[in-house]
């Protein structure tokens, strides 16, 4: 089966964290409309999220934390809200917050269930990817960790070994820590180094613990890393990690904030390199997981110019379609009136028009050494297990 499914429901993009917040769920509507205008998505490929078994939330998150989220979502004042990371600038409290983020979890679990049960080979929930949420704390725009909830469902319900690959500019800390001692889940993250960027984690010495030692794989990249260096590090580490782990299911967090235009990170990746990485992920899923692949969105704070193109390319790669060249005029005409930037005419960036980055060779050399150190450290652990 090669069927690809797009999990969607309008309410997934129908909430706002706060006025002026950089996390804009409208990205989902921007992307979905682009997919339709580019003839990459049909109504037959869309499915509604199924109701979430709330027990899955409690299997990942502390019960006191969930009850706190529910309370503040109903407008109740809670003295310890700030202790749970709620009510901060990053994670403001908004009405029906519990219901809104639970629906994101439901969509990711639906995607996982469709693939794990064999009803689809690939499934995408672009509203998901909330990888910073911790067991008892909101963090980095993330209240509940839909990825961890979905992975737990695959492990407990279907007995699968899950490899989680995070290509967001920010380290996938929440997913890593939640499975840090679990041998049935491998987390792999390529991200801007935590020496410079939130959440400050994702160092090469974070390897997993106890039975999970060797299942945490981190490739921290230098700021201003460009396409060639990013793809080189990906190719050096990711296939080797998957070969050692032998997963049954691959889960991808495809944050679009690695792009050069993103205002909250300092990587300098183009949509061309993102497309290449998505294609490789698709190939690796075929090689190691019989094609089984679930993908979510994630970061991406240039919501009009970058995120829709990146995620449209993600869907094209996972649904085994060629990448389109031109952004449809109908889509640009629809969204240009509310976009603060001129919308691009092409899916792939013209990188020759970008100003050159200083220290290019030095950055690439540093990243190469990091990737080599990761393999040097982890390979003996993999070989001994």
φ, ψ for residue 142, nearest 5 deg: -120, 125
Catalytic residue among 61, 131, 132, 171: 132
Whether omega before 246 lies within 30 degrees of 0, making that bond cis, reads: no
Is 132 a known active-site residue? yes
* Phi, psi at 218, each rounded to 5°: -125, 135
* Three-class secondary structure assignment of the chain: CCCEEEECCHHHHCCCCCCCCCCCCCHHHHHHHHHHHCCCCCHHHEECCCCCCHHHHHHHCCHHHHHHHHHHHCCCCCCCCHHHCCCCCCCCCCCCHHHHHHHHHHHHHHHHHHHHCCCCCEEEECCCCCCCCECCECECCECCCHHHHHHHHHHHHHCCCEEEEECCCCCCHHHHHHCCCCCCEEEEEEEECCCCCCCCCCCCCCCCCHHHCCCEEEEEECCCCCHHHHHHHHHHHHHHHHHHHCCCEEEEECCHHHECCCCCCCCCECHHHHHHHHHHHHHHHHHHHCCCEEEECCCCCCCCCCHHHHHHHHHHHHCCCCCCCECCHHHHHHHHHHCCCCCCCECCCCHHHCCCCCCHHHHHHHHHHHHHHHHHHHHHHHHHC
Largest Cα–Cα separation, the chain: 58
* Rounded Cα–Cα distance for residues 188 and 273 (Å): 18
Query: Where do we find the tokens 């183009």?
Result: 270
63-68: Cβ within 8 A, 24+ apart: 64/136, 65/135, 65/136, 65/137, 66/98
**Residues known to be catalytic:** 132
């Amino acid at each position: 089966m090669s069927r690809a499914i797009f999990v969607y429901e309008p309410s997934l993009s129908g909430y706002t964290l706060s006025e002026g917040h950089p996390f804009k769920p409208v990205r989902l509507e921007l992307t979905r409309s682009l997919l339709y205008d580019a003839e990459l998505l049909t109504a037959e490929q869309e499915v509604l999220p199924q109701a979430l078994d709330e027990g899955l939330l409690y299997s990942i998150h502390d019960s006191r934390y969930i009850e706190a989220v529910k309370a503040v979502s109903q407008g109740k004042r809670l003295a310890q809200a700030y202790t749970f990371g709620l009510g901060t600038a990053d994670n403001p409290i908004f009405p029906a917050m519990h219901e809104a983020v639970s629906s994101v979890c439901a969509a990711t679990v639906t995607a996982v269930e469709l693939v794990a049960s064999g009803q689809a080979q690939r499934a995408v929930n672009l509203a998901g990817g909330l990888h910073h949420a911790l067991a008892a704390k909101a963090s980095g725009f993330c209240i509940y960790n839909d990825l961890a909830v979905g992975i737990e469902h695959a492990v407990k319900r279907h007995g699968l070994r899950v490899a989680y690959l995070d290509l967001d500019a920010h380290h996938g800390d929440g997913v890593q820590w939640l499975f840090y001692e679990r041998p049935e889940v491998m987390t792999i993250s390529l991200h801007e180094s935590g020496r410079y960027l939130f959440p400050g984690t994702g160092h090469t010495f974070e390897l997993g613990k106890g039975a999970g030692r060797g299942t945490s794989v981190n490739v921290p990249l230098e700021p201003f890393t460009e396409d060639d260096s990013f793809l080189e590090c990906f190719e050096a580490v990711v296939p080797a990690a998957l070969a050692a782990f032998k997963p049954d299911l691959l889960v991808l967090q495809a944050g679009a904030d690695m792009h050069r235009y993103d205002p909250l990170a300092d990587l300098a990746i183009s949509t061309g390199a993102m497309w290449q990485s998505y294609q490789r992920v698709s190939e690796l899923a075929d090689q190691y997981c019989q094609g089984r692949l679930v993908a979510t969105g994630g970061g991406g704070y240039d919501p009009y110019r970058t995120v829709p193109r990146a995620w449209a390319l993600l869907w094209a790669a996972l649904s085994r379609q060629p990448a389109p060249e031109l952004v449809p005029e109908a889509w640009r005409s629809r969204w240009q009136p509310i976009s603060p930037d001129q919308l691009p005419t092409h899916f792939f960036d013209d990188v020759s028009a970008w100003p050159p980055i200083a220290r290019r060779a030095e950055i690439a050399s540093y990243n190469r050494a990091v990737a080599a150190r990761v393999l040097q450290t982890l390979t003996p652990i993999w070989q001994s297990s």
